[in-house]
Amino acid sequence: MNLGTPGNCFVLVGLYIGNWYEIQRFYVGFEDNTKCTEANYQLKEDGHIRVDNKCISLKDDGKVIEAIGDGYVPDKTQPAKLEVKFAEGAPYGNYWILDTDNANYTLIYSCKDVLGLTHVEFCWILSRERTLASETKEKLYQKLSGFGVKTDNFLTTEQTDC
């Protein structure tokens, strides 16, 4: 699938850094039975990005689950196409910022072919607040639909009692 050139060219020049709250996502197993998912991005001295994802487990008495990752921009002419990994020795996976205004919302897409047998897509809508206007979500759905991405795959992340 060709998604064109993702996002805003200023996504990591200080404006994108900071806290984001997950509003909706495609299914990912490691987020099963969780709520209050959030991400914090910080620029590291080596130019990479520290990715700190946290959520609350709904099955382990509210235990906070945290995953720290490393991201970077492999091609500086395309700053919205990042590579991110969450385990030492694991390969980096694509993390494309398809749309953001840096202050309110961001739309992230990732995909991977698995052993030539299947194609897996991931997508996230994040907000600087724990809620996001339905008009903004609809705008992002339209953008994804234009790329042939099925927006009915979205699950809503619970962001109450965090």
**Domains, the chain, ordered by start:** 18-153 (2.40.128.20)
Query: b/e string for 107-131 if b means 16 or more Cβ within 10 A?
Result: bbbbeeeeeeeeeeebbbbbbeeee
Q: Is the entire prediction scored with pTM above 0.85?
A: yes
The pLDDT of residue 12 is: 47
The pLDDT of residue 21 is: 98
Query: How many beta carbons lie within 10 A of that of residue 94, not counting itself?
Result: 16
The pLDDT of residue 63 is: 94
Strand-pair partners of 52:
40, 68
Q: Residue ranges of the chain with pLDDT lower than 70?
A: 1-14, 114
* Model confidence pLDDT, tens digit, residues 23-50: 999 998 888 999 999 999 999 999 899 9
